[in-house]
Amino acid sequence: MKIGLTYDLRSWYLDRGYSMEDTAEFDKQDTIDAIDAAIKTMGFETELIGNCFQLIDALAAGRKWDMVFNIAEGLYGDGRESVIPAILDQYRIPYVFSGPVIMGISLNKYLTRLIVAAAGVPVSPGILIISPGDIGKCNLQYPLFIKPVSEGTGKGITEKSLVHNDKELRKMAEYLLSHYQQPALVEEYLPGREFTVGIAGSGDEAVAIGGMEIECRDNLPYSVEVKENYQAFCKYKPMGEFSDECRDVALKAWKAIGAVDAGRIDLKTDRHGRICFIEANPLAGLHPVHSDLPILSNMAGIKYQELIERIIGSALKRHQLDG
């Protein structure tokens, strides 16, 4: 079996003039190399395809794969994570991780909230600000937390994301609307402990494989800058007494959105100690050392090779392929 790898290599884009912010979610070569090595260890042939532009060229040249391991984040728009899955669907090429609809919904934090809340998963009260005119309609209880509705890796989140009054809310909302050219999600701030839970599998076979508590120094938000320097700013700990509840809530949210193969669910406690959903990541980072999913998996005794094997095993079963 031949497995192709699709991904957004950060250096490829930087070499072509894209900014560090544009490419904040993209992978470095060592992530690609680690995934490639793990797949080869399973006995599969691999081919490094690259990003959506390179995939289109490869398909036009007639290249084929039995399955694609897709970790491409995409470049622009709220459907950017859906681009490669949608292309592969048209060519009827099986792939790892969720399809275009799930990727699009999960990237939009507001839509994801609606779905998981309808399934009975606790969420913090929130509203969507689409234009400056919506700011005055906010009747939530301060303090509030505001962030772009469709960004990942903590983009758009800073210490100023925590707002305490109408003036601060308006200033941040107008900045986010202008800078990111997308709506802003405003939620009542969750002041408690923060967790992330790893999920492996699809549908009824999905299981919570592990989780960890994220403790940031000086109560910093888990932003892109903090994530890139997590060893200096963060402490990752076992979930402790919240372990069972976090696993249950995360698994319920995962099944509600219909994500497959593997990913993460982020959670935080409210002022009453209730576990609340923050967001879903069906396209979690897979750097063997620095990404949250491999880190929490390793804490649970699941080494990187086994994690990749579980992901591919789930995809092979979904697509009814023989490995």
How do residues 149-190 score in pLDDT, each as one tens digit?
999 878 889 999 999 999 999 999 999 999 999 999 999 999
Can you name the residues that pair with 279 across neighbouring β-strands?
266
| pLDDT per residue as tens digits for the range 10-60 | 999 999 999 998 898 999 999 999 999 999 999 999 999 999 999 999 999
Predicted pLDDT of residue 216: 86
Predicted pLDDT of residue 203: 93
Mean pLDDT of 143-154: 91
Q: Specify the amino acid at residue 282.
A: P
- The DSSP symbol for 77 reads S
Predicted pLDDT of residue 63: 97
* Rounded Cα gap, residues 233 and 100, in angstroms: 34
DSSP string, 96-147: ES--HHHHHHHHSHHHHHHHHHHTT--B--EEEE-SGGGGGG--PPSSEEEE
DSSP string, 141-201: PSSEEEEETT--TTTT--GGGEE-SHHHHHHHHHHHHHHHSS-EEEEE---S-EEEEEEES
- CATH class for the domain made up of 114-120+191-318: alpha beta
Can you name the residues that pair with 280 across neighbouring β-strands?
265
* Rounded Cα gap, residues 92 and 224, in angstroms: 35
Whether the link from the prior residue into 143 is cis, omega within 30° of 0, is yes
Is 80 exceeded by the pLDDT of residue 138? Answer: yes
Predicted pLDDT of residue 47: 98
| pLDDT per residue as tens digits for the range 76-94 | 999 999 999 999 999 999 9
Opening angle at CA 262, ends 257 and 264, nearest 5: 70
Question: Domain coordinates of the chain in residue numbers?
Answer: 2-98, 114-120+191-318, 125-188
Mean pLDDT of 215-228: 75
Mean pLDDT of 138-142: 95
| CATH 3.40.50 is the classification of domain 2-98 | yes
Predicted pLDDT of residue 223: 67
Mean pLDDT of 261-283: 96
Q: How far lies 224's CA from each of 85, 127, 151, 176, in Å?
A: 25, 23, 11, 15
| pLDDT per residue as tens digits for the range 292-315 | 999 999 999 999 999 999 999 999
Helix (H) or strand (E) holding 281: strand 275-281
Mean predicted lDDT score pLDDT of the chain? 95
* Rounded Cα gap, residues 71 and 5, in angstroms: 8
Predicted pLDDT of residue 231: 78
SS3 content of the chain, % helix, strand, coil (to 5): 40, 20, 35
Where does 125-188 sit in CATH, by number? 3.30.1490.20
- Strand, coil or helix: what is 269? strand
The answer to whether the beta carbons of residues 83 and 74 sit under 8 Å apart is yes
* Rounded Cα gap, residues 88 and 95, in angstroms: 7
Predicted pLDDT of residue 283: 97
At 69, is the pLDDT very low, low, confident or very high (cuts 50, 70, 90)? Answer: very high
Q: Is the pTM of this model over 0.75?
A: yes
Q: Which tokens in the block code for residue 261? A: 């193969």
Q: How far lies 315's CA from each of 30, 51, 133, in Å?
A: 23, 20, 45
Higher-confidence residue: 232 or 261? 261
